[in-house]
Structure 1
Amino acid sequence: MYAIVDIAGQQFKVQKDQKIYVNRLVGEEGDQLNFDQVFMLDNDGQVVVGTPTVKDAKVSIVILNHLKGDKVIIFKKKRRKGYKMKRGFRASLTRIQIQEIVA
């Protein structure tokens, strides 16, 4: 069984006991959250597509930990102008585990 669900503004295909990284969520480590914006469910070949969401369906998750992603370097340059700029950032992420999918 899998579901397509909206978590933190992004859509993910999730299955039970799967661990994924998402944008930083509000909550402490060990907190359980429910997401009810489920767009599609597949239960052993029986597919239910929502309009736009599936009624009475939800995905329960538990927050494992908060961390920062790999550093991304942004380098800008305009040739022959003496303009160079180097910046970087690390995305704030949350590692979650899917507890259950309720249809």
Structure 2
Amino acid sequence: MSAYAVIQSGGKQHRVTVGEYLKVELLKAETGASITDSEVLMVVDGDNIQIGAPTVAGASVTYEILSHGRHDKIRIVKHRRRKHYHKEQGHRQWFTEIKITAITL
């Protein structure tokens, strides 16, 4: 069983393992930068399970910024029948692609 951690980024929780690629909400960091984040909510290493309250003390996850980009466009359509109301809108959310390089306790 491999070690994994649950981290918090952009108001969302992600289950990550070492070597995993992940798209998270946009981070204000340069491409190629290595960042150590201490927002670790849970760490599991075999039978050793540590759950934070709210974060695990001393635990951190190191990741590398690979790229920034935008997701595919989603279309928002509002329509009321028989009322001559029709509205369309599009949205492309920014993301940062990261690679998890280390999980430390």
For normalisation by structure 2, the TM-score amounts to 0.94
Q: Which runs of no fewer than 5 residues in structure 2 stay unpaired?
A: none
Where do residues 39-58 of structure 1 align in structure 2 (5 Å cutoff)? 39-58=41-60
1:6 touches 1:35 (CA, 8 Å); kept in 2? Answer: no
Q: Which runs of no fewer than 5 residues in structure 1 stay unpaired?
A: none
How many Å apart are 1:101 and its aligned residue?
Answer: 0.4
Runs of 4+ in 1 over 3 A off after TM superposition: none
Cα distance in 2, alignment partners of residues 71 and 5 from structure 1: 27
How many Å apart are 1:34 and its aligned residue?
Answer: 1.4
Where do residues 8-87 of structure 1 align in structure 2 (5 Å cutoff)? 8-87=10-89
For normalisation by structure 1, the TM-score amounts to 0.96
Structure with greater strand percent: 1
RMSD, aligned CA: 0.8
**Count of aligned pairs between the two proteins:** 103
Q: Percent identity?
A: 33
How many Å apart are 1:32 and its aligned residue?
Answer: 1.1
